[in-house]
Amino acid sequence: MKKLIIDPITRLEGHGKISIFLNESGEVENAYLQIPELRGFERFCVGRKAEDMPLLTSRICGVCPVAHHMAGTKTLDAAFNVEPPLAAKKLRELMYCGYFIYDHTLHFYYLGGPDFIVGPDAPPEKRNVLGVIEKAGLDVGKEVIKHRAFGQRITEIIGGKATHPVCGLPGGISKALSEEERQEIEKMAASSVEFAKFSLKLFHDIVLSNSRYVNLIKSDAYTLKTYYMGLVDKNNKVNFYDGKVRVVDPDGKEFLKFEPKDYLNHIAEHVEEWTYVKFPYLKKVGWKGFVDGSASGAYRVGPLGRLNASDGMATRLAQEEYETMYKTLGGKPVHSTLAFHWARLIELLYAAERALELVKDPEITSKDIRNKPGEPGEGIGIVEAARGTLIHHYVLDEDALIKDVNLIVATVNNAPSINMSVRNAAKGLIHGDKVDQGVLNMVEMAFRAYDPCFGCATHYAIGQMPLTIEIYNSEKKLLRTVQR
Amino acid sequence: MKVSVVSLTCCAGCVSSLLNAGDALLEILFGDFEIVYSPTFMDLKEVPEVDLAIVEGGVRTEADEKLIREVRAKSKTLVALGICATHGGVTSLGNIASLKKLLEKEYFILDTSKLPELEDLMYPICNFVDVDYYIPGCPPMPFLIVHTLKSIVSGKSPVRHQSVVCTECHRKIIAAKLDRLYGTYEKEADPVLCLVSQGFICLGSMTREGCGAPCPRAGFTCFGCRGPPDSLMYRSRDMYSFLITVISRRTGIPEEKIKEELYRNPFIFHTFIFSKFERSKARERVI
């Protein structure tokens, strides 16, 4: 058997490598995405003060710290049995929209987008944000950097710091919003709506008007029929900050809808011996290995997962684009992995529209932002991170110190599907061991669509090495090494 | 100037912070900087020879160790960006347990023989290679990174920040008369008074300045992410005694009682620096 390894896979948060196994005739037998790292957050948080958890867990990921900070804060609300005032909830959600604006912008223009805008098999030295700027123009580049910074600035105003914010307290938030700050955010939110519309137009012009890309999106190599999961509000519309968890089956019918506190009744985790990442599945369906379809408990989260699991978007423009996407790609649910990119831009638009709505709310500058916490106990908090459903679960002792921690992060929810997508793409695209870098990059595109964060996945991140493709014979003896 | 941006074991937050520099970032990118290697954002996979290497993250895996040695050998100047690279960071908290215990908690059935090797502990990079400049912080603020990089590009020594966060904090220190310490969740913070004077355990008095005190400004206690200031970088200085004295003076609570409280949460001060750190090498190089 021959074995190809892509290591490190690039343009993602965290470190992983792809091993591709070929059979005697040079066809792909199997492919694995391996996450070879570990940090141990669930262990070293034990014994710490519960109030530190939103600060500690935000350090799991520097790209989505706001998600962990918010999940931690909501978990403390539950653990101290306190409901925050409405104004505090709105402030938290506004900050959260700022986070989605910067995170989705980051992914589309810096990480995943270059594959489409510059081209999947373009020279590797061009396939990055600078290549995007070259292709789309310097003015576009400036807008990208500006609006990503706007998202960060919104987070910073409310959260005190842009990366690893400091504002979440059980029962509320540490600081009210001043009128001056409110006006600054309003300007940035309004500008972000325009930027999101522009980004969608760019996607339509460059990707959707190119039949090669549309065929790629619809091709079998990038299709996976799974369950989908996401938080929804009371009208079953997508919500990032709060709500019930809804799951739809591969035909798009509602399969489950549950309160965050009941997650353990519905989700279990499977461990494989070759990776530090765990594989969650729906308990009711069961773990059937790395297969898709309604008999397999694998589910997908993240932009496409949320859109598939909901009945629509709660803001006008995003809802219009939501309808366009399903019309163009043949109805709900959409199973194409590359459609994650489109869904992500629809969410960018929603986040900007929602931020504008919230910042115009007269209650947003209210000083009533904290309620008194009750006695410490056990708590579960769920938010939608940019990459999907994020679950924090803490048990506190009577001194409010942490006794136990369980975290199921977005990328982990997607881990079974990411593996399948990588395998399917490899099978569809690689024939024989004479593969060029463009083909290998197209295998990487299968995971990049998920915007995976392996920092989060192993509660740990990154360590990079040059890409090597190692080719083994059937006795697993190394024949030769190729540098990409 | 050719630049590489390298990530070891970390959360990518420091590079993220660099991206937050906005216009200053554009100035760098379209000015003197030519970023030739950055796996987070670019597809080039071979470590090149560079004038300046910016390294985030510490060493947890053998791959990290191999990479940092290669990066050092191929760079003229090396900057450790962020507290994971300089002091081990939050991952160094994993050093409280053996590797086996860490794995047991999360991966009880794992066969580790099929996985890449981990180091026994989390190390800052100075344990393996010489570091020219240390920029601690979790993450360092964008302006601090940009100022430092600009100085390096123009051949000047970067401005060092030697004192403590209190010097940058707007809050007023008073000698209060309190009967106990408080958790941040227990009561609302006064917006003007020093947080320690209100009974909260704020680490500003023993944490290096240079961040602008964003946390106390947002109503939160300092979490110590810039590590110790120059005065506390000597082995002879007992950080606990120092903190106990400061808290006692500002709250009026007897030292014995504060000691009891701090010892109940033994890692309170070590969230970011629970690793073997070679102080003597770093002394004049921390920004």
CA A35 to chain centre: 16
Q: Residue A152: its chain B contacts at CB < 8 A?
A: 20
Among residues B91, B71, B89, the alpha carbon closest in space to that of B131 is found at B71
How far, in Å, are A168, A281, A309 from residue A231 at the CA level? 20, 17, 8
Which two structure tokens, joined as six digits, stand for A414? 């997607």
Those of residues 384-413 in A touching chain B at CB distance below 8 A are: 399-401
The number of residues in chain B equals 287
The answer to whether A455 contacts B15, with C-beta atoms less than 8 Å apart, is no
A19 at interface of B, judged by CB pairs closer than 8 A: no
pLDDT recorded at residue A408: 85
B94 to chain A, closest Cα gap in Å: 6
pLDDT recorded at residue A211: 87
B76 to chain A, closest Cα gap in Å: 20
Q: ipTM of the predicted structure? A: 0.87
Return all residues near B10 (Cβ < 8 A) that are at least 6 apart: A62, A455, A461, A462, B56, B57, B58, B82, B84, B85, B89, B91
Write the single-letter amino acid at A245.
V
Whether A318 contacts A347, CB under 8 Å: yes
Those of residues 62-121 in B touching chain A at CB distance below 8 A are: 63-64, 66-67, 89-91, 93-94, 96-97, 101-103, 105-111, 114-116, 118
The answer to whether B188 contacts A370, with C-beta atoms less than 8 Å apart, is yes
Q: Residue A173's beta-bridge partner residues?
A: A168
A37 at interface of B, judged by CB pairs closer than 8 A: yes
B25 at interface of A, judged by CB pairs closer than 8 A: yes
Nearest CB partner across the interface for A274, out of B20, B109, B114: B114
pLDDT recorded at residue B266: 66
pLDDT tens for each residue of B122-169: 788 988 999 999 999 999 999 999 999 888 888 888 999 999 999 999
List the strands of the sheet with B50-56, edge to edge.
B34-37, B2-7, B50-56, B75-81, B133-135
Torsion, Cα B254 B257 B258 B263, to 10 degrees, reads 150
pLDDT class of B114 with cuts at 50, 70, 90? very low
CA B131 to chain centre: 15
A360 at interface of B, judged by CB pairs closer than 8 A: no
Whether A169 contacts A89, CB under 8 Å: no
Phi first, then psi, for residue B145 (nearest 5°) are -65, -45
pLDDT recorded at residue A324: 95
A476 at interface of B, judged by CB pairs closer than 8 A: no
How far, in Å, are A71, A128, A344, A402, B7 from residue A348 at the CA level? 20, 20, 6, 35, 28
pLDDT in tens, chain A (484 residues): 455 555 555 544 445 566 667 777 777 776 666 554 456 777 788 888 899 999 999 888 888 899 999 999 999 999 999 999 999 999 999 999 999 999 999 888 877 777 777 777 777 667 677 777 777 788 888 888 889 889 999 999 999 998 899 999 999 999 999 999 999 999 999 999 999 999 999 899 888 888 888 888 888 888 999 999 999 999 999 999 999 999 999 999 999 999 999 999 999 988 776 666 778 999 999 999 888 899 999 999 999 999 999 999 999 999 999 999 999 998 999 999 889 999 999 999 999 999 999 999 999 999 999 999 999 999 999 999 998 999 999 999 998 999 988 888 887 888 888 888 878 877 777 776 666 667 777 777 777 787 766 544 443 222 222 233 344 444 454 444 433 3
User: H-helix or E-strand containing B81?
Assistant: strand B75-81
Instruction: Return the SS3 of A404.
Output: strand
Q: How many CA atoms lie within 13 A of A449 on its CB side?
A: 32
pLDDT recorded at residue A447: 75
β-pair type (B34-37, B2-7): parallel
Which two structure tokens, joined as six digits, stand for A253? 């019918």
The answer to whether B19 contacts A111, with C-beta atoms less than 8 Å apart, is no
Phi first, then psi, for residue B97 (nearest 5°) are -120, 155
The answer to whether B43 contacts A483, with C-beta atoms less than 8 Å apart, is no
pLDDT recorded at residue A481: 41
Task: Name residue, tokens 């909830």.
Answer: A89
Torsion, Cα A228 A229 A232 A235, to 10 degrees, reads 30
A139 at interface of B, judged by CB pairs closer than 8 A: no
pLDDT recorded at residue B92: 82
Burial of residue A316 (number of CB atoms within 10 Å: 0-12, 13-18, 19+): exposed
Among residues A452, A425, A450, the alpha carbon closest in space to that of A439 is found at A425
The answer to whether B188 contacts A164, with C-beta atoms less than 8 Å apart, is no
A23-32, A79-88, B18-27, B65-74: which is most confident: A79-88
Instruction: Return the SS3 of A27.
Output: strand
